[in-house]
Amino acid sequence: MSEVRDAVAALLSGHALRAADGGQDDMALRTAFAELTAQGWTRVGLAAELGGNGGTLADAADVAAAATYLGAATPLADQVLIANAGAGLLGITVPETATCVLPAIADASRATCVPWASWASHLLVADRTGGVALVAARDARVTAGTNLAGLPSDAVELDLAVEGAGGADAAALLMQLGALARSVQIAAALRRCQDLSVSYARQRRQFGRTLADLPGIQQELAALAGEVAAAEAASSAAVAAVAARAASTGPMTPTSSAARAVAAAKVRAGLAATAGARSAHQLHGAIGITREYELHVHTRSLWAWRDEYGAERTWAQRLGETVRAAPDGLWASLVPAPA
């Protein structure tokens, strides 16, 4: 675990993130998010000259992963990995008064299924040319909703005419960063599912021995570990690719190598979410579906995050189209040219 993850985990461990019945405690979560904001964690990954606290994209990913692993249902990941990264790549300054900046990618001034919009103080919205602008949330009409995990997934309507930055690919960039954020979160949630499953298998006894001693359980644990490793590897590679692209040539285009890495990560993470959640529930049996037990917090989120910012099918199709259109074909996109 990195120092960043340790620090975020230490802060959140002082908060009761779930209600007594195992559900979400909205007031406690808002209090935790307010403390994260006060200590500057929500501005990690955004340069100081743009209103942030500095730090790399990898630092932002560590912040998001730490909160996700603990089941802290807040917009922290969306803030640091989508809004902060997007603002940094597009050169958008975030004012000091902004306590929660989130993307709301709209079509004809209306966006649906916008994660956490009801928590936002400011929104990154797209203009009609594909550029992105920062607006105050009070200038938009937000209708509350929820996703499969019971997390905020709202509708946003904006009557205000905006002129965005970043050109025609700016809104697409936010979608790519959204896919990156969900890939990182899926990997972290799967890691927590694995740790819960291993702990339960070691404690639960059946037929005179622990579940962990049974060959069938060992095979299922190994399968779950494989999905965790795949999701973590894919999301880490995507974070590194986006960071490298930003450091060298600026914002990624839909056909860049960084965009391909993000697409591959979202596809692989989505597949891992399906298989990993299934394995975790099979390993836990009946207790895994009770509200009081922690597992459902993570598996329901996995099922919701598979679809947010594009499901596997969407990104697989984009990845295939990009590779097919590449001048040097598939092989060149997989293997670097010799030095």
What's the pLDDT tens digit per position in 61-100?
999 999 999 999 999 999 999 999 999 998 999 999 899 9
The predicted structure's pLDDT at residue 149: 92
The predicted structure's pLDDT at residue 191: 98
- Binning pLDDT at 50, 70 and 90, where does residue 199 land? very high
Instruction: Tell me if 262 sits within 8 A of 238, measured CB to CB.
Output: yes
The predicted structure's pLDDT at residue 339: 60
The stretch 312-334 carries a mean pLDDT of: 83
107-166 pLDDT, tens digit per residue, is 556 788 999 999 999 999 887 777 888 889 998 999 999 999 999 999 998 877 777 777
Report the distance separating Cα 257 and Cα 240, nearest Å. 11
- Binning pLDDT at 50, 70 and 90, where does residue 168 land? confident
The predicted structure's pLDDT at residue 195: 97
Which structure tokens are listed for 196? 């819960």
The predicted structure's pLDDT at residue 158: 84
Question: What pTM was estimated for this model as a whole?
Answer: 0.94
Amino acid at 93: T
The predicted structure's pLDDT at residue 249: 65
The predicted structure's pLDDT at residue 22: 73
The predicted structure's pLDDT at residue 108: 53
In the chain, what is the greatest distance between 2 CA atoms, to the nearest angstrom? 69
The stretch 23-52 carries a mean pLDDT of: 92
The predicted structure's pLDDT at residue 21: 75
Which structure tokens are listed for 186? 């899926």
Place of tokens 């499969």: 148
Amino acid at 5: R
- Binning pLDDT at 50, 70 and 90, where does residue 250 land? low
- Binning pLDDT at 50, 70 and 90, where does residue 55 land? very high
Report the distance separating Cα 8 and Cα 208, nearest Å. 40
- Binning pLDDT at 50, 70 and 90, where does residue 26 land? confident
Q: Which of 107, 82, 13 is nearest to 242 (CA)?
A: 82
Render the burial of 170-198: b for 16+ CB within 10 Å, e for the rest.
bbbbbbbbbbbbbbbbbbbbbbbbbebbe
Instruction: Tell me if 305 sits within 8 A of 185, measured CB to CB.
Output: yes
Q: Which of 139, 138, 185 is nearest to 160 (CA)?
A: 139
Instruction: Tell me if 254 sits within 8 A of 172, measured CB to CB.
Output: yes
Report the distance separating Cα 154 and Cα 339, nearest Å. 49
Instruction: Tell me if 308 sits within 8 A of 113, measured CB to CB.
Output: yes
CA distances 97 to 19, 55, 125, 171, Å, are 30, 20, 18, 24
286-312 pLDDT, tens digit per residue, is 999 998 999 999 999 999 999 999 999
- Binning pLDDT at 50, 70 and 90, where does residue 281 land? very high
Q: What is the mean pLDDT of the chain?
A: 90
